[in-house]
Amino acid sequence: MLVDNAIVVIENIFRLRSDGVSIKDAAKQGAGQVVNAIIAATLTTIAVFLPIIFLEGMIAEIFKQLALTVSFALLSSLIVAMTLVPMMASKMFKTKNKQNIRLMLKTKQLYEKYLNFALKYKFLMIILVLIIFGGSIWGLTKIGTEYIPSGMEDHLMIDLEMPEEITFTEKKELYDQFMNMAMSIEGVETVAISLLKDDINIMGGNNYVFVIKDEESKRTYDEIKADILTETKDDPFIVHIQSEIEMTNMVSSGIKINIIGDDLNTLNEITNNFMNIINNIEGINNVTSNIDDNPSELRIIIDRKASISHGLTNYNVFSTLHDLLNPNYKATDININNRPFKVNVYPSKLNTITEEGLKNIIIDHTPLEDIADIIPSESWNSINRQNQNRYVSIQAEVKEDYNIGLIGEKVQTEIDKYEVPNGYEIILTGENEEINNALNSLIQAALLAVVLIYMVMAIQFESLLYPFIIMFTVPLAWTGSFLALLITGLPLSVVAFIGMIILAGIVVNNGIILVDYINQLKNEGKATKEAVIIAGKTRMRPILMTSLTTILALTVMALDIQKGTAMIRPMAITTIGGLIFATILTLFIIPCIYVIMDNIKLKIKGGN
């Protein structure tokens, strides 16, 4: 984009010089005719970055530096285009240039023919574009959403959930079995294992396997993940895979559901019911909750009447049980070299507390089962709270080749259908919540960007009508972005949305260049339709040139899916798709809208 302003100035000087204008006059007039247009074009592009600067969180951290870099670079290019470029042109274009490029002449003739057709059926053209716009939005709902593009991983971190009651030797054999399998997968270069005997690990209390792919391999980490899950589906352990981007907390992985309420038993019941429900959703895998590993317990409920009839109080019962369950093993204290040591004496084997054993405990000649009910129950390792409310979390992984956004919509549908008791609530969180929050913020940023673009153009044109006409290039561009995502099969991500916001500031540039020249021709006395056709033919070349330079530069990022460029790829694709679609239609739709609006303006004036 840095060359866009210079292209517009040079092309206009070259055109005037070809028409026989002297070199100095061509340089002065050529730059003067387009100076307002390139100033407006540059300011509208910079304006879209202002809302991004005010975003918060990870999105802001990634894109603030991009916004500042592009803004200052474009301002510099504007200064160069208004000063250095005309000066250099006046020194270099000494000889008279003739526009004898046959391809360009034929292109202009063909363009004039189709532009006349479009102006004849202008309302039909606008309706057709609106239908395509609506269809592209509908198609966008079918490709789903994601937070950050996949393919940015540097390695995979894998947690193997082993069966219970397994010995360390057996565990080691299973880890070796997994390592041999992983090394046999195409594209895997290194497999490293962190395995400690006591399951104590600084990375969170578990043992982990790290898988690193061969940098020369064309295979992606997504493909390697799919192979690992396929190869281990019949193994006795459960595989949980995290990519590096998930580990750095840039995004939560998979589906997460919070069930909020007060009573623990009701929470447990709702959790079990809902886990069964989402287990049946296609694309969901490894459904777990934070109460899966809760231990069992024995609850002792004293019958007050029975205990009183035996001359016992609650205190007698619980103090006796306390002494049995928490015995004092201290025997004595000894002193060695003036250092005190406690000596505890333990039985050779501690008897395991069982339901039957508790029933037979004698308290003052009375069996415990005569004065109390002993009920097996499930305990809780921990009780989580959010805003002073208890909650249980359900986690689920999304299978490869399934979109997190579309799966999230299915889960939300099940949440809406589920009849929750009064005082309880089921909320979809996790990556879906982060996606929705980010997209809502970006929608607000996009709306603010559109308002700022309109304000900049209104100031530059000193009119509200002409910026309104030019703003029609924005939905044209977004239509192209949606179609590009549909064609490439990419979901709508935060990065793609950022590309669409930036695109809004880019595509209006072509409309500004076109409308500004139409106004100049009308001021010279040309009729509206004649001015539209002449301006279209004259500005077609710089519009195509500026769009192509940006499209070709972005193609490098759109095609390169290697490490380091995967994140920027959706931005490049949405911008390319939007530019292609908007550039073509700007040359036809903007003239149609201009003629319609001008006719309405004349009728209003005539009515007055």
Q: What is the mean pLDDT of residues 23-36?
A: 89
pLDDT at 127: 92
Q: Is the pLDDT assigned to residue 201 strictly greater than 50? A: no
431's enclosing H/E stretch is helix 430-461
**Among 172, 147, 199, residue whose Cα is nearest residue 430:** 147
pLDDT at 248: 43
Per the CB < 8 A criterion, the answer to whether 507 and 582 are in contact is yes
Distance CA 8, CA 15 (A): 11
**Among 552, 557, 547, residue whose Cα is nearest residue 585:** 547
Per the CB < 8 A criterion, the answer to whether 245 and 255 are in contact is no
Distance CA 84, CA 541 (A): 22
pTM of the model: 0.68
Q: Is the pLDDT assigned to residue 204 strictly greater than 50? A: no
CATH code 3.30.70.1430 for 153-249: yes
**Among 287, 291, 251, residue whose Cα is nearest residue 268:** 291
Q: What is the dihedral of CA 214, 217, 219, 221, to 10 degrees?
A: 20
Residue 210 has which token pair? 């790290």
Partners of 339 in the β-ladder: 336
Higher pLDDT, 2 or 404: 2
Q: Is the pLDDT assigned to residue 116 strictly greater than 80? A: yes
Structural class in CATH, domain 102-143+463-608:
mainly alpha
- pLDDT one-digit tens code per residue, 271-301: 888 888 888 888 887 787 776 555 667 788 8
CATH code 3.90.45.10 for 296-378: no
Structural domain boundaries in the chain? 1-100, 102-143+463-608, 153-249, 296-378
Per the CB < 8 A criterion, the answer to whether 85 and 9 are in contact is yes
Q: What is the mean pLDDT of residues 588-602?
A: 89
Q: Is the pLDDT assigned to residue 76 strictly greater than 90? A: yes
DSSP 3-state of 405: helix
Q: Could you give the C-alpha distances from 197 to 126, 166, 192, 211, in angstroms and in order?
A: 70, 12, 16, 21
- Residue 545 contacts by C-beta under 8 Å, 6 or more apart in sequence? 7, 11
pLDDT at 97: 53
- pLDDT one-digit tens code per residue, 309-339: 888 888 878 887 777 776 666 677 888 888 8
Q: Is the pLDDT assigned to residue 25 strictly greater than 80? A: yes
Higher pLDDT, 543 or 225: 543
Q: Comparing 1-100 with 102-143+463-608, is the CATH topology the same?
A: yes
Residue 367 half-sphere exposure, CB side, CA atoms within 13 Å?
Answer: 10
Structural class in CATH, domain 1-100:
mainly alpha
Lowest mean pLDDT among 242-246, 467-471, 489-493, 566-570: 242-246
The label of the residue with tokens 């590993």 reads 293
